[in-house]
Amino acid sequence: MCAQRLWPSVQALGRGLINNRTEIIQQGVKAYNVQNFNSSHLGQGHQQSHVSGHDRLATTQRITHTARGSFNKVVARSLHSGTVLFVKEFSDTENEHAHAILRSLPAYHATTVAGDNVLNNSFYHQHAPHLTDSEWARCSAEEIADGFIAMSQMCRHSPMDLEDSKHSGLCAVLSNRLTHISDNQLLMVLSALSLWPPTSATTTPNFVALWNALDQSCTERMRRWDMARMFLVADHWFALRLSRISMYNVKMTKVLGRRVTSMAPAQLVQYLFYANLSRKLEPFIVKKEIEKRLTQVLQQISVEELGVIAMGFFKTQTFLKSEALIEAIIKKTEDNLECVSDATLCAILKLLRKSIPVMQWKLMYGLLDSLLPQLDRLNNMCLLQVALLGNDLLVFHPKVIDTIAVKFASDIKVLRLKDIERITFALMLYNYVPPSRPDIFMLIAEALRCPERLLEINHYPKCFVSCVVYLMTMGILPQDLISAALQPSMLNLLNMSRHYSAMGREVIELDWALDIEGPANYRGYRLAPDMRIQLTKQYMGNLPSGLEKTLTHQERLLLEVKDKLSAMLGGVHLVTATHILPHIQTPDLVFCTTNDGEPVALPENFLDLPPASLKYPMECFNGIQWNAVIVAGRNSFIRNTDTLRGNVHMKKRQLTRLGYHVSVVPHMEYNRKSLRSKLGCLERSLKEGSTFVTEGRLESAWVTLKGQAERQEEVAG
């Protein structure tokens, strides 16, 4: 059926699967500066057959490859000159919202500036002088500053181009004379710069000379200012949208970082707002002291101010450690759910998601309970944060996720690709098919095929590929989307960004899944065999030997279960640990039995298979049943349930598809202290999933293991 219908995005993305002939989409990518790419990663070895040059597409919006290797929209700002930055639109909206909160409260009026009134209209009434370069050079520093301020005022009514050559002399002289003007005049010059129309970049000659000189002068004078003046100057840099790249903002947050314990509530809020803009808190700043001060002032600030603080913590990757503070923030949030703004709630939820420790997971579930009645009034961006809230701790609230899925299904056409990717991830994580909208996965697939999504896919190829991988994890394998995800041009897009360096793991998961679960008639793109092996080896986990000093919890658990399983089977030669599925990092245990359930030795041919190969049960050995044991560690189950998380559920499904009888050993039951309890858990797991007849085996295994432990104690003693 799939081969008979035209993919809806055929004109925009390329040709789909038609009459069993595959001509997969080839996304157009402009020539970018790719000097920092790792060309050996994903960019080589892909099949390039039958993809014609005319499939390359012309983009209709500017896509810029930044120095960090990411693709972001170029967003022009209107408040100042040279404010074209590689920024995320929603991040700017968050910052604007946070600043609006500060502006709305009297406590911040003296230390913030309104975006539309950075310099008082009544300050200068006379016409600005139009002097030649040589005439400006003969003026005093104060006259030059006054002239620039007056000329800037004229831009309100008669916009001018700062980069016009007739302004070059003024900009140059002013840049050189800033050290000779007063602090107040310096602040007014900084304000005046915001009145000029935007230039094309932050690096145009006149603009970069001015803002760099202002940055240096402000930074040099900073230490003689009080905190209020520091904040006011920082706010002018925010009005210019240069906080992220200015030296002043970084230095200010560093200087004031030593004074957080004595800050008034409003000062702490405003300090963390500027820390958010610079995305950095210096290592010497004691995060515990900030938490202590926040605990002291929490009752004195509004929930909206708490959102500004939460944004500052989250953007600087400073997560909460104090359990008492976390509880207090949750309580304050729950008490204000009726009136809190969506953007503020988003910021608080982001912080809580990364801060709530596993031992406090019930607090998170309680917060989700409180949020449930509010979901109808929240916007999609906020609903997404609610859906993601429990992800890190695997806390699942079915009613919340189902309600959000219904809303997202109805709004699928207007959701951002990033939002679609995140909600798909949440559903995959919990292996959850929303009962109210079981068709949401079909809608997601159709949204990925939509021609209008092309530009977004080009901006965010990771989101597209991740969506396809999450669908595959749920057992949904749309051939056209998989082929699009594995096409060379898509892989090149992923390769062109260091932000996507871990995407190789998802790519090989997709490719190996085609071998295991893919349709026999699949004729789309695949990874080249040598590239697949290279990536498989790169991402495949180690086989724990027991000799390593620093084993992970999962590795120790695997070896312990293997030890007890071998005792039940009757010998270490009867079980092996191996990567049956080479695309999954954690290995599994394999053993064989006869049709009667008696253990038999594993065939040598199986043991000799290459580590990076897909290990099918060997059908040439008649009368042998193949068994796989998944040792399900700490993060294998949804919190407080016996339900496997999505990735582990996929693993079990794929092992079964290969022909294995699959048992799952749950860590929460197995981790009881007594040896007999551990063997009992293993026996129950084997009875449920394997062909091994366990009657009488537990006691003999217990005797064997008890004897081994006693001999080890004698040797050690």
Mean pLDDT of 80-87: 33
576-621 pLDDT tens trace: 999 999 999 999 999 999 999 999 999 999 999 999 999 999 987 7
Question: What was the pLDDT predicted at 61?
Answer: 29
Strands of 599-677, DSSP E: 599-600, 624-632, 661-666
Nearest-angstrom CA–CA distance, 4 and 375: 41
Q: Is the dihedral of CA 60, 66, 70, 74 positive or negative?
A: negative
In one-letter notation, the amino acid at residue 541 is: G
Average pLDDT on 312-322 reads: 91
- Nearest alpha-carbon partner for 199 in 164, 167, 163: 163
Rounded Cα–Cα distance for residues 79 and 96 (Å): 12
pLDDT at 624: 93
State the virtual CA torsion across 214, 216, 221, 222 in degrees, nearest 10.
100
Candidate ranges 50-54, 489-493, 594-598; pick with highest mean pLDDT: 594-598
Q: What is the mean pLDDT of residues 635-639?
A: 95
| 118: pLDDT strictly greater than 90 | no
24 pLDDT above the threshold of 60: no
DSSP letter for each residue of 418-449: HHHHHHHHHHHHTT---TT-TTHHHHHHHHHH
Is the per-residue pLDDT at 116 higher than 90? no
pLDDT at 713: 74
Q: What is the pLDDT of residue 120?
A: 56
Q: Of residues 621 and 687, which shows the higher confidence score?
A: 687
pLDDT at 90: 45
Q: What would the mean pLDDT of 689-702 be, rounded to a whole number?
A: 92
Residue-wise pLDDT for 496-538, tens only, equals 777 776 788 999 999 999 999 999 899 999 999 999 999 999 9
pLDDT band at 133; cut points 50, 70, 90: confident
Query: Which of helix, strand or coil describes residue 22?
Result: strand
Distance CA 373, CA 23 (A): 48
**pLDDT (average), residues 103-110:** 95
pLDDT value, residue 126: 53
- Which residue, among 485, 419, 472, 466, has the nearest Cα to 441 in the 3D structure? 472
Residue 463 confidence (pLDDT): 95
Q: Are 444 and 411 in contact (CB under 8 A)?
A: no
> Lowest mean pLDDT: which of 80-94, 383-397, 458-472?
80-94
Contact call for residues 544 and 559 (beta carbons, < 8 A): yes
Cα 146–Cα 152–Cα 155 angle in degrees, nearest 5: 155
pLDDT of residue 673: 78
Q: How confident is the model at residue 88 (pLDDT cuts 50, 70, 90)?
A: very low
Structure-token pair, residue 117: 């009134």
Name the strand (E) or helix (H) holding 591: strand 588-594
Helix (H) or strand (E) run with residue 588 in it: strand 588-594
Retrieve residue 436's tokens: 């109210």
> Which distant-in-sequence residues (6+ apart) come within 8 Å of 326 by Cβ?
320, 352, 355, 356, 357, 360, 363
Asked if residue 57 has pLDDT above 70, the reply is: no
Residue % of the chain over a pLDDT of 90: 67
Task: Specify the pLDDT at position 240.
Answer: 92
Question: Mean pLDDT, to the nearest integer, of 654-667?
Answer: 97
CA 21 to chain centre: 37
pLDDT at 292 over 50: yes
Q: What is the mean pLDDT of the chain?
A: 84
What φ, ψ does residue 325 adopt, rounded to 5°? -65, -40
How many C-beta atoms lie closer than 10 Å to residue 513's C-beta? Answer: 21
Task: Quickly list DSSP for 511-551.
Answer: HHHHHHHS-TT--S----HHHHHHHHHHHPPP---S--SS-
Alpha-carbon distance 660 to 662, whole Å? 6
Give the pLDDT confidence of 144-172 residue by residue, as tens digits: 999 899 888 888 888 889 998 888 998 99
pLDDT at 72 over 50: no
Segment 404-439, tens digit of pLDDT: 999 999 999 999 999 999 999 999 999 999 999 999
pLDDT at 92: 67
